[in-house]
């Protein structure tokens, strides 16, 4: 089994690091000044589940009952008050300011041709669509690879950007819209033909399904569930690992895809054992967020490895794994011996919730 890690740090092109803290975006000055900060109290709910995960936010009513209402959809598209998010691959135009960022939305009359998705309706009744426009239409370049992003605040102005870069800078509405639109666009781009007979399929249901004109079969967007887990030992040390496909010094918690016919709990126990040789117990859920690069749903957990167990990395996917006390992690981060995942990732938030305070993370 050599399926790539589902991770938020996969070697697929990503873009620049973004600062943490949905809601009050600003740039960290350095270690200890990460914005995800102020974790106490407001970052978890009463059940210990993480709240405000960057890509788990949304404020629109998805209006699922309208997806097959052609009359309503036509009227919404004809309304100049409707707003459209135009995608160029996985990027959209973003307006960067001193206090965050916002998507640049256009009226339907200014949207290009392309597959159209109904994203939802806001409280004021404004309808939002996305259009997967032509590649290069926004003059968006290739997304930079992991580790190549600038560690400085983005310059003010308007330019194309991707979710990794702006996920934490956007407000709830925009973060949710962008995440949904990229997930749908990725699916349409890669599921163009009927898996039964190879006929090109056509978008239906306002971009939320495709139908084969030859046999009438309907096909729905794919989401790949993945578990991501922070493992602790009897001394409450945290297990962090380096994946061979990541940039040097990048470490994170373990993750893996849930396989067909497998429960989430089984996947977690299996992945930890395969990657590190550890047997874990006491699993508990800590939150989830979509990671549509290209189609993962990250299911976050904590787990415990009791007793004295030896770490044996698989050597194939995981190159190195070790325990960190909080003091050791702080020191390693300050000296840049290790680089933590970006604040937009659920991994970052889970590590911070164990650590108990803000930590810097970057690409």
CB of 193 to Zn ion, least distance (A): 8
CB of 211 to Zn ion, least distance (A): 9
State the Cα torsion 190-194-199-204 to the nearest 10°. Answer: -80
State the Cα torsion 120-126-132-137 to the nearest 10°. Answer: -160
Q: Which is nearer to Zn ion, 134 or 195 (CB)?
A: 195
Q: Which is nearer to Zn ion, 81 or 213 (CB)?
A: 213
CB of 117 to Zn ion, least distance (A): 22
CB of 222 to Zn ion, least distance (A): 17
Each as own residue / partner, the long-range contacts of residues 131-134 (CB below 8 Å, 24 or more positions apart, any chain) are 131/84, 131/85, 131/86, 131/87, 132/87, 132/181, 132/184, 132/185, 132/188, 132/189, 133/86, 133/87, 133/88, 134/88
Report how far residue 303's alpha carbon sits from residue 341's, in angstroms, rounded to the nearest whole number: 19
CB burial readout 131-148, b (16+ within 10 A) else e:
bbbeeebbebeebbebbe
Q: Which is nearer to Zn ion, 198 or 315 (CB)?
A: 198
Report how far residue 161's alpha carbon sits from residue 205's, in angstroms, rounded to the nearest whole number: 28
Q: Which is nearer to Zn ion, 214 or 331 (CB)?
A: 214
Q: Which is nearer to Zn ion, 144 or 221 (CB)?
A: 221
Q: Which is nearer to Zn ion, 23 or 213 (CB)?
A: 213
Q: Which is nearer to Zn ion, 194 or 293 (CB)?
A: 194
CB of 187 to Zn ion, least distance (A): 17
Report how far residue 16's alpha carbon sits from residue 247's, in angstroms, rounded to the nearest whole number: 14
Evaluate whether 231 touches 253 at the Cβ level (below 8 Å).
yes
Q: Which is nearer to Zn ion, 66 or 210 (CB)?
A: 210
CB of 210 to Zn ion, least distance (A): 10
Tell me 281's DSSP state: E
CB of 132 to Zn ion, least distance (A): 22
Evaluate whether 176 touches 57 at the Cβ level (below 8 Å).
yes
CB of 183 to Zn ion, least distance (A): 23
Strands 238-243 and 318-324: antiparallel
What are the beta bridge partners of residue 210? Answer: 203, 219
CB count, 10 Å around CB of 152? 9
| Residues in touch with Zn ion (CB under 5 A) | 194, 196-197, 199, 212, 214-215
Tell me 236's DSSP state: -
């Amino acid at each position: 089994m050599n399926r790539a890690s589902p991770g938020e740090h996969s070697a697929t092109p990503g873009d620049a690091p973004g600062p943490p803290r949905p809601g009050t975006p600003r740039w960290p000055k350095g270690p200890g000044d990460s914005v995800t900060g102020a974790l106490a109290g407001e970052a978890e709910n009463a059940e210990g589940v993480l709240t405000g995960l960057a890509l788990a936010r949304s404020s629109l009513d998805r209006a699922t009952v309208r997806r097959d209402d052609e009359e309503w959809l036509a009227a919404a598209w004809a309304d100049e008050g409707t707003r459209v998010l135009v995608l160029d691959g996985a990027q959209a135009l973003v307006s960067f300011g001193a206090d965050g960022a916002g998507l640049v939305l256009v009226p339907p009359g200014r949207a290009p041709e392309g597959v159209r998705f109904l994203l939802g309706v806001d409280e004021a009744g404004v309808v939002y669509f996305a259009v997967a426009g032509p590649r290069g239409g926004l003059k968006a370049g290739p997304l930079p690879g992991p580790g190549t992003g600038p560690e400085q605040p983005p310059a003010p102005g308007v330019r194309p950007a991707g979710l990794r870069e702006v996920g934490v800078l956007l407000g709830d509405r925009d973060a949710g819209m962008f995440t949904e639109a990229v997930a749908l666009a990725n699916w349409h781009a890669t599921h163009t033909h009927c898996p039964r007979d190879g006929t090109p399929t056509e978008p239906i249901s306002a971009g939320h399904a495709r139908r084969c004109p030859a046999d009438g079969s309907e096909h729905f967007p794919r989401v790949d569930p993945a578990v991501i887990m922070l493992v602790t030992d009897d001394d409450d040390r945290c297990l962090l690992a380096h994946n061979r496909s990541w940039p040097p010094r990048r470490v994170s918690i373990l993750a893996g895809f849930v396989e067909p016919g497998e429960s989430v709990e089984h996947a977690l126990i299996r992945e930890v054992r395969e990657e590190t040789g550890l047997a874990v117990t006491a699993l508990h859920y800590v939150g989830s967020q979509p990671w549509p690069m290209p189609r993962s749903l990250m299911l976050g957990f904590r787990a415990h490895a009791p007793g004295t167990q030896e770490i044996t990395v698989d050597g194939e996917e995981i190159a190195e794994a070790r325990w960190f006390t909080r003091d050791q992690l702080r020191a390693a981060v300050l000296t840049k011996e290790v680089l933590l995942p970006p604040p937009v990732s659920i991994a970052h938030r889970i590590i911070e919730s164990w650590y108990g305070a803000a930590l810097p993370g970057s690409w």
